[in-house]
Amino acid sequence: MNKVDFKGSVVLNPVPVVLITSRNSEGKDNVFTIAWGGTVCTKPPMVSISIRPERLSYEYIKESMEFIINMPSQKIVKAVDYCGVRPGRKFDKIKEMGFTMKEGTHVNAAYIDECPVSIECKVKSITPLGTHDMFVAEVVGSHINEDLMDEKGKIHFEKGDLITYCHGEYYPMSKNAIGSFGFSVAKPKVKKEKADEKTIISKDSSSSDNKKSETKKTSVKTKSTKNKSNKVKSTMVKSKKKTSIKSKKKKHRI
């Protein structure tokens, strides 16, 4: 495939699009949208977000050194875009979007309840880069919808209908995995176990479908039997009527 060469530019796409909430020393809350963010460390858990110095949230976060990352679902994509294009100095975006705000547990800021995942963060460093400053923060807590977790405690982000940002457009996150961590080097036994799990799920689904089919067939047979029974009864009644009429005629002749 032929390639087209570009000068140095940020073409790393798609990326998560999130809503950042923060609070200043006067107790005023603000929300704005970013796409320049990501995980930077596992232990301790660390993330980064990049913000333009002219943004109102830049002031709030630099003052409080705290913020919350709210991961939105497809349902509020319009609000996500709105919070990215309207300035917090002129608009009360939280009020206008009708967000349900709940107090954070570990930071002095509120999170958006409509978002399936919210991550509380404390800033550890601020690095000027150019158009943006990078805030590196430690994750101190999170709030995750119960319906995203299975019985083993695994978080299924694909069930959250999350969205991504790609070159100026918003896209839904796919619910279909094309692989899992380590599957390329997994031993045949592990692959077989996973394949068996899928087979069991498939069989359970087929079994359920078969039961429904059998129930429908039984219902049809029952209706058919009832119809046959009704026809037999009708024939017997007609036969009795004919016999009764013949008997009356004979008596009349006598």
Tokens of 252: 């009349």
Residues 148-180 pLDDT 10s: 999 999 999 999 999 999 999 999 999 999 999
Burial readout 4-16 (b: 16 or more C-beta within 10 A, e: otherwise): eeeeeeeeeeebb
**pTM value surpassing 0.85:** no
AA identity, residue 22: S
Residues 214-227 pLDDT 10s: 555 555 455 555 55
**Of the candidates 23, 115, 108, the residue with the CA atom closest to the CA atom of residue 69:** 115
Cβ count within 10 A of residue 151? 5
CATH 2.30.29.30 is held by the domain 15-172 = no
User: Distance of CA 99 to CAs 2, 53, 82, Å?
Assistant: 47, 25, 13
